[in-house]
Amino acid sequence: MPHFMVQFRYSAQAWEGLRSRPEDRSAAVQELISGVGGRLVDLFWAIGDYDGVAIVEAPNNVAVGGAMVAVSSSGAFDAVRTTPLFTPAESRQLFDLAGRARYRPPALAPTFLDQTLRMRRARTLSAGELITKQEYRVEEIAQLYGLTPSLIRAAVYRHELPATIAGRNIVSIKRRDLLAWLEERGRTA
């Protein structure tokens, strides 16, 4: 049966009730979950954003969802958050499926800050200053030679154009390597 983590935060009224009449809530939670065909695995008090955590087994999302609607509508909670949990075997299946899935992310538009910084950098160096530089950033090469940044990045990642890379970011491209690549590109184009 699927497992779920239910995080909850009591309302002020519920806290007052528990303070004046302390009780173990395990039996009440077990009764709730049994009513939808599941079982309570464990119940914990917590310190932090939530007051407690219940780990429950339920036949499906609808069953645990029904239980959570009953809990949320009681008025005893300020917040209830339910998270499906996966066993190691299920996570393996999940990763196998993810490996077969094809996803095309949406085009990521540059933020206002990205555009502002790019324009500021472009204004700081004139074309003459760019030509005399010994190392370039991708945006500078694109500006200077009228190439698209994606063409330059592709050449770097195909190992046609040597570059200094940090992680997945192209830090700089040496002038002599750029000129050799442009010359080679001119002959093969």
Say what percent of the chain tops pLDDT 90.
50
Q: Above 60 in pLDDT, residue 99?
A: yes
pLDDT band at residue 102 using 50, 70 and 90 as cut-offs: confident
pLDDT band at residue 171 using 50, 70 and 90 as cut-offs: confident
Average pLDDT over residues 44-65: 95
Instruction: Assign domain 112-188 one CATH number from 3.30.70, 1.10.3210, 2.60.120, 1.10.1660.
Output: 1.10.1660
Average pLDDT over residues 5-17: 94
pLDDT tens, position by position, 108-154:
777 777 776 666 665 556 666 666 678 888 888 887 888 888 899 89
Query: How do the domains of the chain map onto residue ranges?
Result: 3-100, 112-188
Average pLDDT over residues 61-85: 94
- The CATH topology of domain 3-100 is Alpha-Beta Plaits (3.30.70)
> CA 164 → CA 11, 63, 109, 183, distances in Å?
55, 55, 26, 20
Which pLDDT belongs to residue 189? 45
Q: Which residue has the higher pLDDT, 188 or 59?
A: 59
Q: Above 60 in pLDDT, residue 188?
A: no
Average pLDDT over residues 48-69: 95
Which pLDDT belongs to residue 139? 83
Which pLDDT belongs to residue 101? 87
Average confidence score pLDDT of the chain: 87
pTM over 0.85: no
Residue 11 phi/psi, 5° resolution? -75, 165
